[in-house]
Homo-oligomer: A and B are copies of this chain.
Amino acid sequence: MTELFVRTLREDPADAEVPSHRWLVRAGYIRRTAPGIYSWLPLGYRVLRKVEAIVREEMDAMGAQEVHLPALLPREPYEATNRWTEYGPNLFRLKDRRGNDMLLGPTHEEIFALVVKDLCSSYKDLPLSLYQIQTKYRDEARPRAGILRGREFVMKDSYSFDLDDSGLQKSYDAHRDAYIKIFNRLGLQYEIVSAMSGAMGGSASEEFLGIAENGEDTFVRSPGGYAANVEAVRIPPAEPLPYDDLPAAHVEDTPDTPTIETLVAVANERVPRPDRPWQASDTLKNVVLMITEPDGKTRYPLVIGIPGDREVDAKRLEAQLEPAAAEPFGEADFAAHPGLVKGYIGPGALGEQSATKIKYLVDPRVGVGTRWVTGADQPGKHVFDLVCGRDFTPDGTIDVADIREGDPSPDCSGPLHLARGIELGHIFQLGKKYAEALGLQVLDQNGKLTTVTMGSYGIGVSRAVAAVAENTSDEKGLAWPPEIAPYRVHIVAAGKGTEIAEYAHELATRLDEAGIEVLLDDRNVSPGVKFADSEILGMPTIVVVGRGLADGLIEVRDRRTGERSDIAVADALPHLLALIREGSAADLLV
């Protein structure tokens, strides 16, 4: 510790919102260099490299081959797949000294496809899985939580190349199995959930979400085993209902009702429903958005109709619209569209067939035969008993309403349970999208050129460090699992005597000789400071060499459980080696 480049902080950094960020900074594992861009200090880099080593071992074991492609890339391949544009402001773009457009790679499907195109020509060259562990770049709108969502980060990305769908499925399954092994070795709690493929394209994808209350992703689980990122949950379309017996639509005065709550109150007062009071779910809320295509120029309004008791979920919306982006409809937008009466917008003014020609999509719950209280396109008026399929016909459906705890599961097995998670990995069956765009073909068994089908698989390596810290840190600091701890044992020389210092040093040397990574706190500071630091730094086993030494005893502490026991100096080395090699401290403490 007298030589180690580390400095612990007594206070939380001002910008740290989550435990992993707070403790990694306080323990001197990382430091911020710019927003979303971090420096790895010695202890942090040791953890990162150990995580990398686990990833590498499991990728090698599944037969993937390691390569290393550039991070600074030419525009052209990303132009061919349209991602140069679709990535929008998330892509770091730059020009070189000759004025050529370049980018910092956010993910490498294009470049891998090209290198495989260069080297492979026959079905005999397939199947093929390649991977790299590399620094990636995404200009996140909201970098947050330290290394959980950074703009520069380390990723393991791999790509599979197969002749056909069954080959792709095998490669996908092999990656899935390897990911399970990796996250198990990291000691992470996670769920494998159905996911959106988003800008990546392709047919199927799953995410590995590390279960964490501070996770950015929300996912659902059903009693029957269905699990999905909320972005990917699809509400089944409503069955058409008969509407012949429903009353005709009628417009009513409902002054001062710009919100659903005010509308329900006024409706119950002025147009009471005979059987039961009106409730928010009887109303149809029309949310107006301005859509911008990734070219940044094409802009148009979109109205989304959802039951009044639901909200549009920003992430589900983003996932559905990607690569286009949505913004709230501003005052200037309303002024430019006088057909939209703010607060009283109804289906009458909407749809590509209407006078406004504004696209109108509705929640899947708004099926044929459902009846609604909704805007009448006049200030202070709403229309009642407006029936979908009779009185209005939307342009289509869009599934972006929020998902709630207890909502029925799409697998019909019962209510959905919601939880939050950190995206640790994402596996995609891409299909032929990239291979087609870049002309990646091989000769098949019949000598015919056939387009290769691809998979793409990512693990956030630096993010995994944060995810483990998020799961394992406690109110005292970090608490690493042994396999990725920077050091396995932290020896605290607590007390002033030369004997203490000498024995601590000797024990450290002995453990080191036995191949155990040891951190020795040999600083000339108080035992209290040393104890606090040992808890912040989080090595799995803390050995205290202190006053007990006079009685031939040292203390062994398990950082995670807090259990302590005194052991005899005479047994110290075999005891510690047994503890480290054979099991947890708890097993061995008497």
Contacts and interface: CB of A to CB of B under 8 A. Distances in A.
Interface of A: 2-7, 28, 31, 33-34, 37-42, 45, 48, 63, 65-74, 89-90, 92-94, 96-97, 102, 104, 111, 114-115, 118-120, 124, 128, 130, 135, 137, 139, 141, 151-152
A96 to B, nearest CB: 5
Nearest to A46: B66
Nearest to A118: B31
A489 B21 CA distance: 46
A128 B40 CA distance: 16
A454 to B, nearest CB: 15
Given A42-B67, A67-B42, A139-B97, A92 B119 contact: no
Contact of A72 (B28, B41, B137): B137
Nearest to A56: B49
Given A92-B94, A97-B89, A33 B70 contact: yes
Contacts of A5: 65, 67, 119, 128, 130
Nearest to A88: B97
B93 A94 contact: yes
Contact of A33 (B34, B111, B119): B111
Nearest to A462: B68
A71 B70 contact: no
A579 B70 CA distance: 38
A92 to B, nearest CB: 6
A137 B71 CA distance: 10
Contact of A41 (B34, B42, B115): B115
A465 to B, nearest CB: 12
A426 B33 CA distance: 26
Nearest to A151: B72
B34 A102 contact: yes
A40 B68 contact: yes
A25 to B, nearest CB: 11
A39 B111 contact: yes
15 contacts: A6-B119, A7-B118, A34-B74, A37-B73, A39-B69, A39-B70, A39-B111, A39-B115, A40-B68, A42-B65, A71-B152, A72-B137, A92-B94, A96-B139, A97-B141
Contacts of A152: 70-72
Nearest to A154: B68
A4 to B, nearest CB: 7
A38 B70 contact: yes
A39 B67 contact: yes
B72 A104 contact: yes
A38 B28 CA distance: 35
Nearest to A92: B94
B92 A72 contact: yes
A74 to B, nearest CB: 4
**Interface-centre pick from A28, A45, A97, A137 (highest chain B CB count, 10 A):** A97
Contacts of A119: 5-7, 28, 31, 41
Sorted from nearest, which 3 A-B pairs have the closest CB atoms?
Answer: A94-B94, A40-B68, A7-B119
A3 B68 CA distance: 18
A126 to B, nearest CB: 11
Nearest to A119: B7
Contacts of A97: 89-90, 139, 141
Nearest to A28: B119
Contacts of A102: 34
Contacts of A6: 119
A215 B277 CA distance: 87
A338 to B, nearest CB: 34
A42 B42 CA distance: 28
A68 B39 contact: yes
Given A39-B115, A97-B89, A111-B39, A65 B4 contact: yes
Contacts of A90: 97
Nearest to A7: B119
Contacts of A68: 39-40, 45, 48
A135 B40 CA distance: 15
A90 B98 CA distance: 11
Contacts of A45: 66-68
A478 B202 CA distance: 41
A96 B103 CA distance: 12
A69 B128 contact: no
A74 B35 CA distance: 9
A147 to B, nearest CB: 11
A70 B33 CA distance: 8
Nearest to A524: B124
A102 B73 CA distance: 17
Contacts of A38: 70
Given A37-B70, A39-B115, A3 B104 contact: no
B69 A40 contact: yes
A6 B119 CA distance: 7
Contacts of A104: 72, 94, 104
Contacts of A111: 33, 39
A557 to B, nearest CB: 26
A260 to B, nearest CB: 35
B67 A34 contact: no
A74 B73 CA distance: 20
A96 B36 CA distance: 12
Nearest to A41: B67
Contacts of A135: 71, 135
A69 B31 CA distance: 9
